Amino acid sequence: MSTASGNTVGMDSSMALQKQMLARHYDRLSRAEEEGRACAYTFVPGNLTELLLSFDILPVLPEINALQNAMRKKSRDYIATAEKLGHSEDVCTYVKCDLGMAKSGNVGPTGERLPDPSVLLLSYTGCFTFMKWFEILKQEYDCPIAMLHVPYQGAGAATRNMRDYVVEQLKENVIPQLEAVTGKRYDEDRLSEHLAASARAEDDFVAVLESAKHKPSPIDAYFGGVYYISPIFTAFRGTPEAESYYETLREEVQERIGGGLGPITPEGTLPEERYRLVVEGPPCWTNFRDLWKMFYDEGAVVVASTYTKVGGIYDNGFRHDPSRPLESLAEYCLGCYTNLNLPSRTDMIVKYVEDYDADGFLVNSVKSCNSFSAGQLLILRQVEERTGRPGGFFESDLVDPRYFSGANVKNRLESYFQMVEQKRSAVRSLS
Amino acid sequence: MRCFVGVDLGSTTTKAVVLDEDERLLGRGITNSRSNYDVACAVARTEAFINARFGLFAGRLAEAGLEKEERGALTEALGRQFRREQHTVQQRALAGVMRGELERDKYAAVRAPLEERLETILDGMNEDIPPMFEAGAPERSDFFRDTATSGFMRRAEGIRGKQVNFDLLMSVFDRAILQVENQELDLSFSANVRPALDRVLAGGGERWRSKASHLASVTDEVAALDLDEVNAVGTGYGRSKLPFRQDQIRSEILCHGLGAHWMFPKTATVLDIGGQDTKAIQVDNAGIVTSFQMNDRCAAGCGRYLGYIADEMNLGVHELGPLAQKSCRNIKISSTCTVFAGAELRDRLTLGDKREDVLAGLHRAMMLRAMSLLARSGGIEDEFTFTGGVAKNPAAVDALHRLVDENYGDRTINISPDSIYTGSIGAALFARRDEGGAESEAA
């Protein structure tokens, strides 16, 4: 989830739209304090964007700022600043990058100053670090924390009890706090309008994701995917802007399918789809383009990824539902990828490998992120066993450039692609 | 004769092998990778072809009914004298380049005394040559640059003239040796083997006299053999730098898998420990890689780790294993970081622990890291083949045997004396099979 940097990928109208949306958003944020607009710092997984919008609160997403800073090569210095403040090398680098930025004048990735938060809205969905992160931010800012505890899907399903528990917290804790911060009354009709807009965009979004079932795939669902998830995972879900973005994107993808075109990449349209892959794990933002190029050079297309589900899973049929506003927000939070247990994650990857007819799958194991990385080797083995397709494993980090060893990652990827090719030709020669 | 070449450009050494059409190993060559991959690649490849001709030569002798011992002695002596010929060619080139250097204007004022000094040194270097290639001569670097540099320096060191001194002499030498390295000298088998054979025959007295004419004709025959390089594949760390086309380059993971399968056809799991990486590879019954794991954030526990430890202890790398084998006490080295392990080692020695015990602990720590990668790649299946430079270290092998036994029980562990060539053999096999594929597609 990201974008609108100098790193423009192709110049489609959807991309131009997205750039404008982000620029406007950061611009709004830079004026928020003088205009007296409330801001909430909040996280991507389980974000309550429609609820915030119904209170006219502007969302600020620290993970997005961190990854945007990494793509703009600013994260190294911010991380160093946080380490000087005493945060250990092993702390999540999103956290350190965000703190470093806060301590360096809180100037956002676009060079404009970010407003201080009016409220820290902590929707906890599977990542324990989020709690610690906001504990630290609480020391920096004189503002309330609204905590939403989303129960982990430990048994592999979200139950009615869990949903009711989340709804109750929304009613009794989150909404009253947002009312106090803004001085406005909770307006359920307004919330429902936003949710209806979300659901329409979600239909288009899912159509875009599932377009990768075509051969060749018209999209890359990991490197390209992070651009496609950006509006819906961040400050724009439930807005007319997001609706028109996804409509435009869906049309563009449809055109690519019609023209038999592969995905747009920074090097141009991929000329030949040689490998179809599923990827598990977040991207390495510091070397995002390098890594994408390594895939491009081999003709590798990611047809499905789990990372594009961290801000919500929609391809299982879930939609925000304006007729049950709080219940559907609760279900959304419970269903984020970060809130799933290992067997559910494995099932999902197996299903992707099969549904998208992938040649194999790769795990990007990220040093910073325990909640992602724990159990990934187990996932790897099980998916290999269940699908019979080869799995590969490489290591990097989210936003700390020190943990990326380009030559080694390239070596692993090349070996992996050649292994897939060798297996294929062995099968061919048998048949 | 149709030949297939595999080159493995490693971080420490570059290896090349030549296979024949039936995937039999004809020859191998190895050299330091240095910083110049092109040169390393060319040297290893040339060496492999020369080695192949020596192998063919020994084969012809066997066909002619020469006893094994006699064959061995003859091939060994011929090899030595052959290298002497090569060395002489290079020495001659060096002398020529240096004389040319003297013509430069900058030496005009000192030309006469400089020339006199240089000629004395060159004479001395020529005198050094024969004993260097006697049987039982002390071991030294195989590279002309190294021997020439040390020979030249030794003689230039004492010179402290007003006009001509050590620094001036070395500056002439440095320019010259660079040029010699970049010259295309004829170091081939055909150009150098006859003079070498003549010297062996002359030095062997009565021993070879009766066979002299036969040996000469076998040598000529082998020299005339057309070794036709049909296809070549490159692998290893520097593979993107190899002078090969993209489709002639393979990952070393695949090459090690296939190479290990070629050496030991029942191989299911391969462990390769090279200079800077450790790979755990699972292969199927055709040598095709099914999964693999390798280190990518940290290179502790690789060959360089031993190099570092050897430096810390003031020992040669090859001395570490045998010394560690003398240990009879278990010392646990806990660190996986090379630098910290070095610190732990100094700490232990200060506390009075014996060097062999500490070293045994270090070898075990190293293999524990490998065991973790193996576990991540899917465990150790029977048979298990250990390759790479570290497979030559007996203490590493001992530690591996014990750890495999403790964790997996009875497994057949294979180590080939050619284990360092595993990657290049795999590459050559790919060269053979790709070529076969192209043929059958054409048909």
Distance CA A69, CA A97 (A): 8
User: Which residues does residue B272 pair with via DSSP β-bridges, in sequence order?
Assistant: B279, B387
Distance CA A148, CA A65 (A): 22
Same domain, A237 and A379: yes
Q: Is residue A287 part of a domain?
A: yes
Alpha-carbon A84 to chain mean position:
29
| Residue B297, pLDDT score | 67
| Residue B436, pLDDT score | 57
Q: Which residue has the tokens 């040297």?
A: B43
| Residue A5, pLDDT score | 40
- What are the tens digits of pLDDT across the range A166-183? 999 999 999 999 999 999
Query: With an 8 Å Cβ cutoff, are B290 and A367 in contact?
Result: no
Is the pLDDT confidence value at A140 over 70? yes
Query: With an 8 Å Cβ cutoff, are A422 and B252 in contact?
Result: no
Residue B316 sits at φ, ψ, to 5 deg, of -80, 150
Query: With an 8 Å Cβ cutoff, are A411 and B251 in contact?
Result: yes
Tokens of A406: 């380009």
In angstroms, the Cα distances linking A396 to B120, B263, B347 are: 59, 35, 33
Q: Does A430 touch chain B (CB under 8 A)?
A: no
Query: With an 8 Å Cβ cutoff, are B296 and A415 in contact?
Result: no
Q: Is residue A246 part of a domain?
A: yes
Q: Does A89 touch chain B (CB under 8 A)?
A: no
Q: Point out the residues of chain B with pLDDT beneath 70.
A: 34-35, 205, 239-243, 296-297, 335-336, 436-443
Same domain, A321 and A259: yes
Residue in A384, A405, A419 nearest the CB of B289: A419
- Among candidate residues A155, A188, A221, the one where a domain is terminated: A188
Q: Of A34-48, A87-101, B179-193, which gets the smallest average pLDDT?
A: B179-193
Tokens of B419: 């284990």
Same domain, A145 and A235: no
Query: With an 8 Å Cβ cutoff, are A419 and B253 in contact?
Result: yes
Q: What is the CATH number of the domain that holds A371?
A: 3.40.50.11900
Same domain, A239 and A364: yes
Residue in B237, B286, B296 nearest the CB of A426: B286
Same domain, A139 and A61: yes
Query: With an 8 Å Cβ cutoff, are A418 and B254 in contact?
Result: yes
Query: With an 8 Å Cβ cutoff, are A412 and B286 in contact?
Result: no
| Residue B33, pLDDT score | 73
CB proximity list for B421: less than 8 A, separation 6 or greater: B8, B15, B17, B28, B30, B259
Q: Is residue A3 part of a domain?
A: no
Same domain, A171 and A216: no
Query: With an 8 Å Cβ cutoff, are A419 and B293 in contact?
Result: no
Contacts of B37 in chain A (CB under 8 A): none
Mean pLDDT in residue range A337-343: 95
Same domain, A222 and A366: yes
Q: What is the CATH number of the domain that holds A64?
A: 3.40.50.11890
Is the pLDDT confidence value at A95 over 90? yes
| Residue B438, pLDDT score | 46
Nearest by Cα to B126 from B157, B78, B100, B94: B94
Q: Closest Cα of chain B to A392: distance in Å?
A: 7
Q: Does A395 touch chain B (CB under 8 A)?
A: yes
Is the pLDDT confidence value at A3 over 70? no
Q: Does B11 touch chain A (CB under 8 A)?
A: no
Q: Is residue A323 part of a domain?
A: yes
Same domain, A181 and A73: yes
Domain annotation for chain B: domains and CATH numbers: 67-210 (no CATH), 266-415 (3.30.420.40)
Q: Is residue A420 part of a domain?
A: yes
Nearest by Cα to A171 from A333, A325, A326, A59: A326
Q: Give the structural domain span for A98.
A: 13-188
Which residue, among B256, B279, B297, B372, would best test binding to A if mutated, counting the most A CBs under 10 Å from its CB? Answer: B297
Q: Is residue A5 part of a domain?
A: no
Same domain, A275 and A253: yes
N-to-C CA span, chain B = 22
Q: Is residue A6 part of a domain?
A: no
On average, the pLDDT of chain B sits at: 88
C-alpha torsion angle, residues B70, B73, B77, B79 (rounded to 10): 100
Asked whether the bond before B383 is cis by omega within 30 degrees of 0, the reply is: yes
Q: What sign does the dihedral B146-B148-B149-B150 (CA atoms) show?
A: positive
Number of domains in chain A: 2
Same domain, A240 and A388: yes
Distance CA A379, CA A365 (A): 12
Tell me the pairing of strands B13-20 and B25-32.
antiparallel
Which residue, among A294, A414, A427, A430, would best test binding to B if mutated, counting the most B CBs under 10 Å from its CB? Answer: A414
Nearest CA in chain B to A376: B376
- Among candidate residues A188, A213, A246, the one where a domain is terminated: A188
Same domain, A46 and A178: yes
Q: Is residue A42 part of a domain?
A: yes
| Residue B335, pLDDT score | 66
- Degrees to nearest 5, angle at CA A132 with A130 and A136: 115
Same domain, A353 and A407: yes
Distance CA A194, CA A188 (A): 10
Q: Does B302 touch chain A (CB under 8 A)?
A: no
User: H-type helices in B157-233, by residue range?
Assistant: 166-182, 189-203, 206-209, 212-224
